[in-house]
Amino acid sequence: MKDLFTNSLNGYILLSSLLFCIGVLGVLIRKNIIILFMSIELMLNAVNLLLAAFSVHHNNPDGQVFVFFIMAVAAAEITVGLAILVMIYRNTGSVSIDALKKLKW
């Protein structure tokens, strides 16, 4: 247990895993679509943090470049997601995933 806190890399892995799990739980249990989007962002940012930590640990800049790619892609992705949300709000008047139950068998 002592090693867990003295080795700084383990701390980053632990923190990122925790943030990631909060994001995953948020996606799985929340109903409001905007909160789902926030949870997805949390997952991606947990990854960013860990990548930056590993990048410093390996003394290799590739990881930090990857962070920029993730940020750019996440921005593009969330833009599309918000556009979809606006479309859904216009048709159903709600931002809850419970409004969408048309497709099932």
Partner 1 sequence: MSKLKENFNDKKMTAVIILSCLGIVSMLADIFSYKKALWYIVLAGVAGAIVANLNEKSNAIIYDMLLTDNYAIWFSTLILALVLLWFMVSKDQYESGVYNSSDNYALILFATVGALILTSFSDLTMMFLGIEILSIPLFILAGSNKKDVSSNEASLKYFLAGAFASGILLFGITFIYGSTGTFKLDKIADWANAAGSNLPALFYTGILLVMVGLAFKVSAAPFHFWTPDVYQGSPMFVTAFMATIVKGAAFAGFFRLFYTSFTSASGSWALILSILIAATILTGNIIAVYQSSVKRMLAYSSIAQAGYILLTVLLSNQEAKYALLLYIASYGVSTITAFTVLYHVEKIKGTDTFESFTSLSQTHPLLSVVMTIAMLSLAGIPPTIGFFAKFYLFSSVLKSNTSYLWLIMVSVAGSLVSVYYYFRVIIAMYGQHEPIISSEKKQIPAFYNVLLLLLVCVIIILGMMPDVLMSIDNL
Binding site for partner 1 (CB under 8 A): 13, 16, 20, 23-24, 27, 33, 36, 40, 43-44, 46-47, 50-51, 54, 57-58, 60, 62-63, 65-66, 69-70, 73, 76-77, 80-81, 83-85, 87-88, 91-92, 97, 100, 102-105
Task: Look up residue 42 and give its two tokens.
Answer: 């949390």
Distance of alpha carbon 16 from alpha carbon 46, whole angstroms:
5
Distance of alpha carbon 17 from alpha carbon 80, whole angstroms:
27
Task: Look up residue 85 and give its two tokens.
Answer: 């949300």
**Could you tell me the smallest distance in angstroms from the CB atom of residue 15 to partner 1?**
13
